[in-house]
Amino acid sequence: MEFHGKEETYRVGLRLDELKIIHRSLWNDLKAKGTLGIDEEASDLLHDLQTVLQKEAHRLGVDLSIHSEWAAWAGLDEMRCKIPPRE
């Protein structure tokens, strides 16, 4: 991991496994709070990370149309991926 920054803008160099850890952490945190998909900075970051990871997974041959393949590749617990309906 490496950081380069000036004032409020930073570039962070991360390995693929580090991106997956951040993605899982954000996913689990936002899901626990019930704020997945809500327009906030953490949700926007999760979306951006997921887009990057899905492009890489596709490049590596992961069939993204099969959720269990995506979940396994990303290291997500598939049972926890399901968003419960709001009551």
Burial of 34 (0-12, 13-18, 19+ CB in 10 A): exposed
Is the pLDDT at 17 greater than 90, yes or no?
A: yes
Residue (of 46, 15, 11) closest to 28 by Cα position? 46
Question: How far is the C-alpha of 1 from the C-alpha of 6, rounded, in Å?
Answer: 17
Q: In the prediction, which pLDDT does 41 show?
A: 79
- The encoded tokens of residue 13 equal 């160099």
Q: Strand ranges (DSSP E) for 2-57? A: 2-6, 9-13
In a domain, 1, yes or no: no
**Confidence bin at 13 (pLDDT 50/70/90):** confident
Write out the residue range of the structural domain in which residue 35 sits. 16-81
Number of domains composing the chain: 1
Domain contains 43: yes
pTM confidence score: 0.74
CA 33 to mean position of chain CA atoms: 16
